[in-house]
Amino acid sequence: MGEKQEEKKEILIIDDEPEFASTLKGALESDVCEVVTASTKQEAQEMMKTINPDLVILGTLSPRGEAFAMHQWLREDPKTKDLPIIVMDAPPEKQLVKGWRRDEAALMEAEDYVAKPIEPGALASRAQSILDKATKRIRVLIVDDHSVVRDGIRSVLELQSDIEVVGQAENGKESVDKVGELSPDIVIMDIVMPEMNGLEATKQIYKKYPKTRVVMLSQYDDEENILAAEKLGAYGFIPKRAASSQLVNAIRAVHYVGKRLERPTPASG
């Protein structure tokens, strides 16, 4: 009840021509695609702290060199280095003002390259083609104060072609910091840890980074912890004793359809 049925694709348009960006946004938006826009490099970088787009359309920016600088920033950041990009260069008459230089073009790493003027509908078609081909992996952060547990979970997840372990943390405080650094889709979170426990970390992540979803993982599968985890924003609770059989399916269910996991049966006695 109230579950999200399908994860919308998200596209970020970075372009300093508001009218063109607005028209392109209209051509791209649909029931399965959300579009956001930024008109400067700084605005785009700020937005990337809170969004995790599936595709970036990198258009024209002034002064010349700003679009290339944005491209380099995306490619150097671990969170966005594999993000599909369409580069949309300036028209011939504006090349000297805000077009790509030859030495910049030689360093371009993009899925597609176009130059203005281009019909928004034609560009939307190219964008959809890239989205259809892209197989974006689920980014997972593992949080547990025991390295043997983290390594065990990692070894299971690394066998999955659609899951990428982007980092590990050994306490709640470190997990909050790493969510800010790495923008994982899913956090696998233990409860009892030093410095900050998993419940407090979940509360902070839910408040600061609402797009990241937390799945609790612990041997403490009692009713009190289950209720506390749910109230603080966790998407589900998996007892460690059942992790090997349920963890992968839980990650996919939470990520792809926003499904909240069924409560485990509390341990008796």
pLDDT, tens digit (0-9, with 9 covering 90-100), for 122-137? 999 899 888 877 767 8
- The verdict on 82 and 196 lying in the same domain is no
pLDDT of 242 strictly over 70:
no
Residue 164 lies in a domain: yes
Percentage of the chain surpassing pLDDT 70? 90
Task: Report d(CA 72, CA 122) in Å as an integer.
Answer: 26
SS3 97: helix
- Count of CB atoms within 10 A of residue 31's CB? 7
Phi, psi at 82, each rounded to 5°? -105, 10
With left for phi above 0 and alpha for psi between -120 and 50, is residue 233 left, alpha or beta? left
For 91: left if phi > 0, alpha if psi spans -120 to 50, otherwise beta; the answer is beta
Mark which of 133, 166, 193 sits at the end of a domain. 133
* pLDDT score of 113 more than 50: yes
Q: Mean pLDDT across the stretch 226-237? A: 82
pLDDT tens per residue across span 2-56:
343 456 789 999 999 999 999 999 999 876 789 999 999 999 999 998 888 999 9
Helices (H) and strands (E) in the chain, counts: 11, 10
DSSP 8-state code for residue 158: T
172/103 same-domain check: no
Between the two ends of the chain, the Cα-to-Cα distance in Å is 32
Give the residue numbers spanning the domain of 160.
138-257
Q: In this predicted structure, what is the pLDDT of residue 268?
A: 43
Average pLDDT score, the chain:
87
Number of domains in the chain: 2
So what's the pLDDT on residue 5?
44
In this structure, the answer to whether residues 42 and 119 fall within a common structural domain is: yes
pLDDT at 4: 39
Q: Is 34 exposed, middle or buried (0-12, 13-18, 19+ CB in 10 A)?
A: middle
Tell me: do 58 and 144 sit in the same domain: no
Q: Tell me, what amino acid is at 8?
A: K
Residue 262: the pLDDT is 66
Examine the domain organization and report whether 188 and 230 are in the same domain: yes
Domain contains 267: no
User: In the listed set 133, 166, 188, which residue is the last one of a domain according to the structure?
Assistant: 133
Q: Are residues 83 and 196 in the same domain?
A: no
Residue 89 lies in a domain: yes
- What is the pLDDT averaged over residues 101-114? 93
On the question of pLDDT at 196 being above 80, the answer is yes
The CATH number of the domain where 127 resides is what?
3.40.50.2300
Considering only CA atoms, which of 217, 196, 253, 171 is closest in space to residue 4? 253
Q: Identify whether 155 is part of a domain.
A: yes
- Decide if 268 is inside a domain: no
Place of tokens 């003027």: 117
Using the 3D structure, point to which of 82, 110, 133 is the last residue of a domain. Answer: 133
